[in-house]
Structure 1
Amino acid sequence: MAAPGAGNIKVVVRVRPFNSREKDRNARCIVSMAGSQTVLTQLAPETNGKNKAGHKAAAVGSKTFAFDKSYWSFDRKDSNFADQEDLFGDLGRPLLDNAFQGYNNCIFAYGQTGSGKSYSMMGYGEEEGVIPKICRDMFERIDGMAVKDKNMTSTVEVSYLEIYNERVRDLLNPSTKGNLKVREHPSTGPYVEDLAKLVVRNFVEIEHLMDEGNKARTVAATNMNETSSRSHAVFTLTLTQKRHDIETNMDTEKVAKISLVDLAGSERATSTGATGARLKEGAEINRSLSTLGRVIAALADLSTASKAKSKGMQVPYRDSVLTWLLKDSLGGNSLTAMIAAISPADINFEETLSTLRYADSAKRIKNHAVVNEDPNARMIRELKEELAQLRSKLSGGAAGASMDPGEQYDADTPLEKQFVSITASDGSVKKVSKAEIAEQLSQSEKLYTDLNQTWEEKMLKTEAIHKEREQALEDLGISIEKGFVGLSTPKKMPHLVNLSDDPLLAECLVYNLKPGTTTVGNVDAKEPNSDASGVAQEERPTQARYEAIDIRLNGSKILHDHCTFENVDGVVTVVPKDGAAVMVNGVRIESPKRLRSGYRVILGDFHIFRVRGFMNVIAKLRLLMLRQYVHFMIEVAFQLLEVATVKIL
């Protein structure tokens, strides 16, 4: 990270190993690194790494880029291989140093789908990424500071959101359905209205929130047949440090916001073969990424422009939700780092070149970070004054009131047609309608309430949302172990786990197949008319329809009553309903099919699962033989003991 205060965005590049697709196509490595330099080599047109003469394709040129650091993560056997700890040491630890001094910080990862962004940010399995490592280290520091300084208290709050098709959804609060609105206030800057900020007291709690947020992302992604690479994810930590001065009996406060952003894939439509809805989806993703590119370019130009020229330059922050939310992180009050993730393969030359050019522009952006000391007290004071002014303007204006005659209206005049003068925070005066004032009043009252919440109130809200989140997952039929915040894989009961080509989404949802019958269906799908009573089934109460389904899936190809899983003494059979799309190991079935551990099951078009949690016949026989052998040995031991006892007597 940059030194505290003003400074350029820190830009690093990381190259990953070949993936299976690149290996299958005999791709060649066209990236080399030395220190801070990254060199991209362009090969002559070739097929499978060879030219028309059958020789290895020759290099026709190279481009060299210089960044703050270049991470060679292509081959673990190389002496200069950079692992997750190297990345955290260079970006994560300095970020935390700055945060504990009271500076806002941001790390965002950019690159094409599959370039390693999510691996660097979140990590997979035991190879933790930057985000969990930062969270772990943060609480280790907080615990250490609490021991050294009894007058210092530190608190942490978390929010986790996703931006998909320019729509914002809260990944931690199931009750905030639909699109959340992005607002901007002079006191706070851009923020998401009604986004949950949850209290965390240790790393275990924050780890569970990350886990549950990723599961909410998985459920939404599966239901919409998308992957995490098509959405932007923003994980935000708010660190508040409060010190009590015994001599003055005064409290001072520092508040730092840490934004950790995993951007959507940046590939071009021509390289994905997308059409129709996928092409529209890609256009929305490219809209936010292209806007980010324009913002970066504009900020880079601003950093080198003269003062006179810079006055007329505009930065298009509001052209996309993503850039609006990242306004402070890009050219504002934040210390920011960018991870440019790239593929080493020649078949991805254009995407890799685009990413490197993007990163090259970003390194010219200058930010202006300041220490956020006692910001809440200032914001509360400013909001209080603003609320008083807004209420006064909203209640005034009736005939006979002591105010500007031009702002007096009849009582029956619609608020949209009543205009009054408002003095902005910068001293400027503008005319606005009372309808706008009423909306602004509502927004400011929410902000004021949030800022005035006590720690106890925040804890109660966090617990309430946690219960809602657990209930929402249970309602979908997803297994939750009681007393544990995260999801669990049952050890004995047969169950389904979700599969995905996206490692971040794969095998993180567990659906138990309880003894007896487990029903699968779509609550939102229409039920067929039936029954002898002549009553249409779709007229059944919603709650009754809901309770009739154990595993609730979405999608046009998931029927209301799609299939059942019959678990009899640990033997599981899937029974498809008439017209239901059910496949087992790639074969469409229309009659009951017995399942074994490891089988793949596809329901509808895109709900893919693996069967787990019960033993096959051989394993059962081995266990039975082992039990019989143990019983036999116990019996022999008792017989020997009886013989020995008789001899003694």
Structure 2
Amino acid sequence: MAPSPSSSGATTSVQVALRIRPPTNQDATSIPARFQRTAINAISSTSVSVDATSSTPSSVGSSTATAAPSASAGKKQVFTFDQVHPPAATQHALFTSTALPLISRFVEGFNCTILAYGQTSSGKTFTMTGIDLDADPTDPSNGMGIIPRAVASIFTQCRELKEERGNAWNYNLKGSFIEIYNEDLIDLLGSDDSGAKTNVQIREDKQGHIIWEGLREVNVNHSNEVMTLIRKGTSIRRTNETDMNAQSSRSHAIFSLTLIQKKYTGSGLPPRSSSPLPPGGRSPSRLARPSSTMHYGNSPGTRVSSPTFGRPGTPSFGSGIPRGGARPASSLGMLTADRRQSLAPGGAQSNGDDQGEWVTVVSKFHFVDLAGSERLKRTAAAGERIKEGISINSGLLALGNVISALGDPAKAKSHTATYIPYRDSKLTRLLQDSLGGNAHTLMIACVSPAEWNANETVNTLKYANRARNIKNRVTMNEKEEGWDDVEWLQGMVTRLRKDLKGLKEGGTIASTTSDPEVSAVAHQKVTAQMAELRNSYEDMRTKYVERTEELTRLRRELADKQRASGGAIGGTAKYEEIVGPVIEEYEKTISAMEAELSLNRAALRHTNDMVDEKEAELAQLAERHATTEMYVEELRSRVTKLAEREASTEAYIHDLEEKVKSFNEDSLSSSGSISDLKRELSKVKDAETHSSQYIADLETRLAKSEESVLSLQQSVERLEEECEVRRADVRTLQSRLEQMQQDGEGWRSDLDEREKKITRMEAELKEREEALKATAETRDRLGVIVNDVSAARKNLEVASINSEVSSVHEPDDPTELQLVALQQTHTATLADLSSVSAKYRDALREIADLAAQLHEAKGHVQGRSRRTLEQHGQTPPLQTRGVNGISSREICIAICIALTGAVLGQVAQGFYLQSRDK
């Protein structure tokens, strides 16, 4: 479980531990008996199986809740984690195996995070805080949680490091406590003058580091002080009772410890003061600007260069400074690498040749107690509890989305940039460095064993399993003292330039030692090193002489053998093959020894120069010591004067006390004004009470407004659907309109033909009207003729009667003959009248058919015109008239009357002519 040792920038995975809480008494009373069966079992120290073969409830509205299929659908699901702790696991065992390895990493300087994740009433707060905060942390039988045990272990390790390193290591611990309630960041340890809790703002600097602005950090020196802070914050943190938990957390809580370490990295003695002087060597009496900043991000050592107005720019050392912020060692001249020359923050060299520097290391440890996910039906939340539950679930949903985005194996293999929704919630914004950032992270997934909670348990296991795929890149947040002080940096640059110039000219490095004890130790080490170099020089010189003599002997032997061989080329060649490599090796050795000897000579000269310089410095220090003694005498005289001044000050203080007593007596007279102020204060408090009630009413109205907003959103969605339907109808009508426009073109051509036909009929109608006028005149004449005919008929009847009377007497009278002729004519006229009447009836039928056809043609044209007008949005006329305002019926009647008059005129004219002839 312990994270693997990592260097700067090492990659590590999020560790996940699963804890199964044991059944509780509340489970026995609140969960139906048929759902109390254990559905999750630990099958090994790293694996767990979920078995929900029956149905888990989908609602808790009544005692006979309906059942829905469980998440596993009757199949066992097996999950693997880094650790699995069964219900019988103790608090001490959980802490030892999970949190204790992270504490060592935290003290080393790495950021760490432990977060408890799970359903409501699954044991997250008990795991993180526990009970018995004042108990012994080493006792494995008590109920202390991870936070108090971790705090005790941190202080123990810090004390051990302090005893081991002494003045070379100092530390400072700060604690803070924050809660996220309804997406508001509230500082549980800070409050303003009126006692109200302060809000915390999230900021981000240029390097991408998350800054908690407005958060109060309290210095703590003992674990008891931390427990006091935890009790204070826990008492203020919002908790309430639900159907699933009597003390349900209604907010996410983050308790943080910040460890600031100052380490001396040199091998020599550190400065005497535990807190070194600020850069530039200013005296402690003056206020020094902060020499370091606290980083908590992916690149904690990134240095921001600040411009200095009115001064030459500082040369950049970006190529020589590593990302951690520590200054690299520089080999000056012919000095060895161990003799690194650097300044301490106070501007003085550390003791000895191996000088060092102060480095600040800042690390943070976040203990995150998340509020549990909950279902409103099961918790029976009402009022404010509903709003709190919605806020909790939304924050956990954003956290789940971040885990899903970071832990997706497919996206990790694709090596493409993936958007991580950190800004969807303030919880994920605060945990940005813990999830996928610069921290060792441990997630403790807490689950309930009952089958009643099988769905929530499976969801928790899935998110926890996916969190194991998240990769963090951890770096140690260390920074050398002084890199934020421009004056110190400029002094460093000036000094390095001077040293470089001295080395180029073959001189020595100027010393800035001001401590006699430091100089004495340095002189001893230089003397010892010079003696060592002299001994090495003598040994190398002896070896050089021996090798030179041996080389001369071998060359002489080679020449003798060549002369003795008498030109034996084969033997000489063989001998040269044997002796040649030996000679070459000797020559190489001699060359190397000569080079090393020259280096030692140069180093010896340099050492002699340093010895002379140190002796001169010792002389100066002796003079300075004498001056210091004189200064001490002067200080003693000043102390005497200060003692006298203190006596006079005491007398002055006595006088002030007398004045204070008189002032107290005068203050009694102002009691009346104080009473008035108290009354005003009570009024202000009453107004504040009314304001609180008004705020509560506003919150209630806000909740109602949110409900109305939801309903309005639903209405908007419904209206959008209707709009889509309307748009489809409009598109259909547009297509129909285009089709009807095409039909309208055909109707227009038909209408033109109909109008031409109507024009011809109007011409015929005019002719018929003229004929109608002539018929009217004929009818008048016919009336006269009819009257004449009637009178003549009467006369004929009278004549016929007379003729009948006279026929008895005179049958052959001419009048009688004339009457007979008239009767025959009358009979013929009646026959002609019958034939004319038949023709008249035929003409009437033809007129009726013609009128019907005309009416049908006009109705068809008018119907098309009306539909065209309606399609174009115009209103058709109420009544359609014929040509010149005359209806079709009137036209037919006029035609019938005209034809009748014409026929009757012809008949009457014929009858009149016959009568006249006769």
1:171 aligns to what SS in structure 2?
A: strand
- Name the structure 2 match of 1:232: 252
**Alpha-carbon RMSD:** 3.7
CA distance in 1, matches of 2:480, 2:204: 16
Say whether residues 1:352 and 2:457 are aligned partners: yes
- Name the structure 2 match of 1:333: 438
1:278 corresponds to which of 369, 377, 385: 385
Matched letter for residue 443 of structure 2: M
Say whether residues 1:140 and 2:156 are aligned partners: yes
Matched letter for residue 429 of structure 2: W
- Name the structure 1 match of 2:85: 71
- Rate the CA distance shift 1:240–1:303 in 2: closer, same or farther, 3 A: farther
Gaps of 5+ in 1: 53-57, 74-80, 385-536, 558-649
Say whether residues 1:241 and 2:261 are aligned partners: yes
- Name the structure 1 match of 2:424: 319
User: Per-residue displacement from partner, 1:421-471 (whole Å, max 9, x unpaired)?
Assistant: xxxxxxxxxxxxxxxxxxxxxxxxxxxxxxxxxxxxxxxxxxxxxxxxxxx
- Name the structure 1 match of 2:176: 159
State the Cα distance separating 1:83 from its structure 2 match. Answer: 0.7
Q: Is the 8 A contact 2:50 2:458 kept in 1?
A: yes
- Name the structure 2 match of 1:596: none
- Name the structure 1 match of 2:94: 87
CA distance in 2, matches of 1:115, 1:9: 21
State the Cα distance separating 1:370 from its structure 2 match. Answer: 0.7
Matched letter for residue 467 of structure 2: A
Say whether residues 1:292 and 2:399 are aligned partners: yes
Q: Is the 8 A contact 2:40 2:50 kept in 1?
A: yes
Q: Is the 8 A contact 1:340 1:356 kept in 2?
A: yes
Counting only pairs closer than 5 Å after superposition, residues 324-473 of structure 1 correspond to structure 2 as: 324-374=429-479
2:190 aligns to what SS in structure 1?
A: coil
- Name the structure 1 match of 2:3: 2
- Name the structure 2 match of 1:32: 41
Say whether residues 1:174 and 2:181 are aligned partners: no
State the Cα distance separating 1:249 from its structure 2 match. Answer: 4.8
Q: Is the 8 A contact 2:240 2:249 kept in 1?
A: no
CA distance in 2, matches of 1:112, 1:20: 18
1:13 corresponds to which of 8, 13, 18: 18
- Rate the CA distance shift 1:84–1:273 in 2: closer, same or farther, 3 A: same
CA distance in 2, matches of 1:221, 1:45: 30
CA distance in 2, matches of 1:344, 1:249: 57
State the Cα distance separating 1:546 from its structure 2 match. Answer: 6.1
Q: Is the 8 A contact 2:357 2:480 kept in 1?
A: no
State the Cα distance separating 1:269 from its structure 2 match. Answer: 3.3
Q: Is the 8 A contact 1:169 1:177 kept in 2?
A: yes
Q: TM-score normalised to the size of structure 1?
A: 0.54
User: Per-residue displacement from partner, 1:511-541 (whole Å, max 9, x unpaired)?
Assistant: xxxxxxxxxxxxxxxxxxxxxxxxxx9x942
Aligned positions, number: 383
CA distance in 2, matches of 1:178, 1:51: 45
Decide which structure has the larger Cα Rg and report it.
2
- Name the structure 2 match of 1:118: 125
- Name the structure 2 match of 1:444: none
- Name the structure 2 match of 1:22: 27
- Rate the CA distance shift 1:378–1:93 in 2: closer, same or farther, 3 A: farther
Gaps of 5+ in 2: 67-71, 133-141, 271-349, 490-675, 695-918
1:285 aligns to what SS in structure 2?
A: helix
Structure 1 window deviating more from structure 2 (114-123 vs 142-151): it is 142-151
- Rate the CA distance shift 1:165–1:543 in 2: closer, same or farther, 3 A: same
User: Per-residue displacement from partner, 1:40-64 (whole Å, max 9, x unpaired)?
Assistant: 110313899x999xxxxx9932111
CA distance in 2, matches of 1:86, 1:132: 14
Q: Percent identity?
A: 34
User: Per-residue displacement from partner, 1:388-430 (whole Å, max 9, x unpaired)?
Assistant: xxxxxxxxxxxxxxxxxxxxxxxxxxxxxxxxxxxxxxxxxxx
Structure with the higher fraction of residues in helix conformation: 2
Matched letter for residue 474 of structure 2: A
- Rate the CA distance shift 1:179–1:46 in 2: closer, same or farther, 3 A: closer
State the Cα distance separating 1:303 from its structure 2 match. Answer: 8.0
Structure with the higher fraction of residues in strand conformation: 1
- Rate the CA distance shift 1:6–1:380 in 2: closer, same or farther, 3 A: farther
1:129 corresponds to which of 138, 142, 145: 145
User: Per-residue displacement from partner, 1:14-46 (whole Å, max 9, x unpaired)?
Assistant: 011112221224311111102100111103138
CA distance in 2, matches of 1:92, 1:340: 14
User: Per-residue displacement from partner, 1:533-558 (whole Å, max 9, x unpaired)?
Assistant: xxxx9x942347869xxxx9x9979x
State the Cα distance separating 1:87 from its structure 2 match. Answer: 1.2
User: Per-residue displacement from partner, 1:322-353 (whole Å, max 9, x unpaired)?
Assistant: 00010000000001000000001111111111
